[in-house]
Amino acid sequence: MAAANKGGVIERKPKKRENTMTVKKFIALTSAALAAVALTASAQVAVDVTSAYVFRGGTINDEVNIQPGFDTEILGGAVSVGTWANFNTDSSQFDEIDYFFGIPLPLDGPVGVEIGYTEYAYPGAEGDADREPYLSLGTEIEGIELGLLVAYGIDGAIDKTLYLGLSAGTSVDVAENISLGLGAELGYVDPDEGESGFSHLTLSVGTDIGIPETDHSISIGISYVVEMDDDVLEVDEDVFATIGFTL
């Protein structure tokens, strides 16, 4: 899967593929992640099933997708590392696998700061991977979590593209082992070529159900994407649903 820049927003289009990942490789990847959980106390595996793959407001595909992710901490918690993938059930193959690491800075104060790097790889597709260092800021005010993501592309289709994501969210317990969450993210893009400006506003609501006497949970959510400026981003899939499992 290759990516093209459209109005400052990543638009990934299918290209000729070779040696794409299949269901067997998907099972192997999941099994390896589960084995790592057993060896690493801080490790976590999450699997989401989505009605569409939407990235920063843009629709990558409108098929049902399975999105496994794995992350853990190393070096005594000084660095977090992980991987995430998108398995397209229509084509029965992985069309994206991401790798990332983050380093939280040991700063005193109410604002948490993390620097990191993400590489977006497209198995079997022509073209370079998308590479993106980032800076993340986060704090909490009166029970509302606020965040700011500053990411800058240095290679691939997002080369020289600045992305800013301002997020807010809160969660309340509605029953034992059940919580209700509300969230919002406002995106801004400034590409090397194309229009810059606010791209989208994503509003989300969901519930998280903890499985008694375990560390596992099930989440169900729905999101609505508001188109801010069609010269910056044309929103194709404005509503999508997600069912998630944390292992």
pLDDT tens-place string over residues 189-237: 999 999 999 999 999 999 999 999 888 999 999 999 999 999 999 999 9
Token digits for 26? Answer: 């998907």
Q: What is the pTM assigned to this prediction?
A: 0.84
Q: How many CA atoms lie within 13 A of 74 on its CB side?
A: 9
**Mean of the pLDDT values across residues 7-21?**
39
Please report the pLDDT score of residue 69 as a whole number.
Answer: 95
Alpha-carbon distance of 247 to 44, in angstroms, equals 7
pLDDT tens-place string over residues 78-121: 999 999 999 999 999 999 999 999 999 999 999 999 999 999 99
**Mean of the pLDDT values across residues 48-74?**
96
Q: How confident is the model at residue 31 (pLDDT cuts 50, 70, 90)?
A: low
Please report the pLDDT score of residue 78 as a whole number.
Answer: 94
Distance of CA 61 to the CA centre of its chain: 15
Domains, the chain, in order of start with CATH, read 2-246 (2.40.160.40)
- pLDDT over 50 at 167, yes or no: yes
Please report the pLDDT score of residue 11 as a whole number.
Answer: 41
Token digits for 173? Answer: 């317990």
pLDDT tens-place string over residues 135-161: 999 999 999 999 999 999 999 999 999
Average pLDDT, the chain: 87
